[in-house]
Amino acid sequence: MLALLLGLLLPARAELQFDVFPGYGMGASDGVVAEGAWAPVTFEIYNDGPSFDGVVELVSSQGGQTTVVPVELPTGTRKRLLVPFYATSRYLILDARLRDARGKVRAAHSQLQPRLVTDRQSPLIGSLSKTLSGGAVLPEVPRGVNQLQPAVARLSMELFPDNPIVLDGLAALYLHSSKAVELKANQVTALMVWLHSGGHLIVAAEQPGDIQATAWLRQVLPCEIQSVALRRDHAAFQAWLTSDSRRAAPGQVPSGAAARRRPGTGAPAVEPQQAGLNPFTLLAPDTAFETADMPVTSANLRDGSVLVGTAASPLAIQCARGRGTLTVLLFSPELEPFKSWQSRSWFWAKLCDVPIEWLAGWNASRLSGNSVDGVFGALIDSKQIRKLPIGWLFVLLLAYLAVIGPIDQYVLKKLNRQMLTWITFPLYVAFFSVLIYYIGYRLRAGETEWNEFHVVDVLPHGERADLRGHTYGSVYSPVNAQYPVASEAPCAALRGERDLYGTEMSKATVEQHGNSFKGRLNAPIWTSQLFLSDWWKQAPTPITLQVLAATNNQYVVKVENLSGKRIPQARLVLDGRIHDLGELPRTKTVSLSRSGGQALNVFVNNLSGAFQSAISERRSQFGGRRSGVLNDPFVAAAAASFVSQILQPRSTPQFQPQFYGSVVASREFDLGPNAARGDAVLLAWLPGESLLPPLNKFNPKRTHTDTMLRVVVPSPRSKVQSPTSDAQSQ
């Protein structure tokens, strides 16, 4: 009897726990995701029942790819999986399933949504704070009809990603020095790649001991941390905060709800008649904060510049690290008196570059536009496909109507066989069906083709470099088929092409293995399907750039081609102008006039119309390709690297400002912010070459590969300085 009871009870106690946490956060329903960027989806699985091999499936309701992750689940084991997922739009809904080896669904969650999806214009700020209440915080401002939505995501050490691709969704990250000690080696590598790829890392150096105990952090900081002492006079915070020079454009009026001071938030009182003023300039001083004793860490500056305070008494230091920015807070924002400062949230808003439209309560709409994916699709889509001009379509339609109507009636009447229409009509339909198929075959049929275009950011540190790549791949299929692909990079992810409405136009099944993947691409007959792989790996430095000297009239620039490959074309963006460097031999030193070359915004905007035409032509099923052809792939890719230069605000007397963009790109792809801060940007063209093995694991009849390298270094006029060579710890 006892054995029978045990046999009945044991299966009842067996449990399968399957939890899913989409986005950045502490778990549960705390996740936040950035639109148009990669985000983590974390799975926690606990199997208290019989062992089995399973597969985790993740699918978006917007379509696109299906991500699967094989997992072994022995009895009594708990496993945590991190899967990269691309948020194509602000309306993200996911379905997750756990299947066993027979395909049976053992657990599932449907209609999963993150707590918030931030828009493209608003930063998503991560916070690895020492205390829950002491991290980054933003002002409480009423939204009204404002569609902009920045956010702060509290992070935990357990869920912090070790994949640099997954960190792309964060615009800024606050890191307390005590948490830096706890980061694992893979997490540090991911963090440093993210920083050098354009992230903004904010470090609070509260205790010198934390810095001394963390070798990687000590090496990357722009200063040498000394001791901590109490300081009473810190009015420099207010001076820095109110020095923000951004202003409202004409016609931009704060909403009435934002014109009231909110108790305890430090929100400025903005009246409608003060339209055009910056809310930062209206912040009232906090005397109690400015006269209170505050622990401040002293530091000796090695590079960079003082952001808050003076050279003798710095409170915050900022420097460039690759494409990114590193800010060191020489105080703890989690301790008093800073924690009680009434303008604390506004300090974080300015430091993290929160849109002023949101802070002031303006009724600004989110950015809309075609994805830059369409530009690269136009460059590498198969040229075997031709499209029927719309005029010929009308000719066929008129011919069909004429044949089945008056011509058929006339012929049968002449023959006095009107009843034959029951036979002739199906024959006409069959004839025109065969004719249309034949025309389609002649226009679109071809051979299997695979083309790749690599855009690679080179982030040098000594003789080696981090290569942060974006690989566009286009497959043309003469039949309905699936094509195998796989990445050989240690960290990689795959997604489909994003369209204007935030859905993935191409479909694939992606099997995630660790931080890389293999998969199968779905290709309908006679179509080109575009996919994008984001990846990272370390390799010998292929190319270097140095700005040796600068005078009032010219720059002296040195470029070294260490790739061993021919670079027939190169361009340099410097001081708001783009210069043609021509072919790059092993070493090249050139002098560039400050007034030479072409204005960068003119260069980019001259191609904006061609970009729009190319993207529209790809979506159209009819018409010639003349308006959709980008003749020079290097020039097109160079301009696409600065698409933010196309975006311009526009307002009307009847409506609040609306922001329109003909082409939009993700934060990690766009080099516009680097050009704006004065960095030198080198673009080097390697036709027919690649720094990574191809994605395709099938043998196409036709194939082609091109690569564009991008190198960003500070120039003498950069607003944020860094040393000529960073020591990046991996």
Distance CA 371, CA 662 (A): 9
Distance CA 306, CA 83 (A): 39
Q: Which two tokens stand for residue 304?
A: 């960079």
Q: What residue has token string 């792989």?
A: 533
Where does the pLDDT of residue 602 fall: very low under 50, low under 70, confident under 90, or very high at 90 and above? very high
Q: What is the pLDDT of residues 614-624, one digit of tens each?
A: 888 887 654 55
DSSP state of 498: B
pLDDT at 396: 76
Q: Which two tokens stand for residue 620?
A: 């159209």
Which residues touch 189 (CB under 8 Å, ≥6 apart)?
162, 164, 730
The 3-state secondary structure of 410-442 reads HHHHHHCCHHHHHHHHHHHHHHHHHHHHHHHHH
DSSP state of 606: H
Where does the pLDDT of residue 647 fall: very low under 50, low under 70, confident under 90, or very high at 90 and above? low
Q: Taking the domains of the chain in order of start, what are their residue ranges?
A: 14-118, 119-366, 373-380+448-713, 390-444
Distance CA 260, CA 278 (A): 15
Per-chain mean pLDDT for the chain: 84
Q: How many CA atoms lie within 13 A of 459 on its CB side?
A: 26
Q: What is the pLDDT of residues 435-493, one digit of tens each?
A: 776 676 666 667 899 999 999 999 988 788 999 999 999 999 888 999 999 999 999 99
Rg over alpha carbons for the chain, rounded to the nearest Å, is 29
Upstream peptide bond of 337 is cis (omega within 30 degrees of 0):
yes
What is the percentage of the chain residues whose pLDDT exceeds 90? Answer: 57
Burial of 580 (0-12, 13-18, 19+ CB in 10 A): exposed
Where does the pLDDT of residue 415 fall: very low under 50, low under 70, confident under 90, or very high at 90 and above? confident
Neighbours of 474 (CB within 10 A): 24
Which residue, 578, 569, 646, is CA-closest to 612? 646
Was domain 119-366 assigned CATH 3.40.50? yes
Distance CA 258, CA 269 (A): 8
Which residues touch 150 (CB under 8 Å, ≥6 apart)?
118, 122, 123, 124, 125, 138, 349, 352, 354, 355, 358
Exposure string for 407-444, b = 16+ CB within 10 A, e = fewer = ebeeeeeeeeeeeeeeeeeeeeeeebeeeeeeeeeeeb
Please give the CATH topology (third level) of the domain spanning 14-118. Immunoglobulin-like (2.60.40)
Say yes or no to pLDDT of 94 above 70. yes
504, 498 Cβ separation under 8 angstroms: yes
Where does the pLDDT of residue 721 fall: very low under 50, low under 70, confident under 90, or very high at 90 and above? low
Length of the chain: 730
Distance CA 718, CA 721 (A): 6
Neighbours of 91 (CB within 10 A): 14
Q: What share of the chain is helix, strand, coil (3-state, %, to 5)?
A: 25, 35, 40
pLDDT at 246: 56
Q: How many CA atoms lie within 13 A of 63 on its CB side?
A: 12
Where does the pLDDT of residue 191 fall: very low under 50, low under 70, confident under 90, or very high at 90 and above? very high
Q: What residue has token string 């019989």?
A: 50
350, 241 Cβ separation under 8 angstroms: yes
User: Which of helix, strand or coil describes residue 77?
Assistant: strand
Q: What are the angstrom distances between the C-alpha of 649 and each of 250, 528, 606, 646, 652?
A: 11, 35, 18, 10, 10
Amino acid at 103: G
What's the maximum distance between 2 C-alpha atoms anywhere in the chain? 111
Q: How confident is the model over 72-98, as a mean pLDDT? A: 91
Which residues touch 94 (CB under 8 Å, ≥6 apart)?
20, 22, 41, 58, 59, 60, 61, 85, 112, 113
Q: What is the pLDDT of residues 6-34, one digit of tens each?
A: 444 444 445 899 999 999 998 777 899 99
Distance CA 436, CA 442 (A): 10
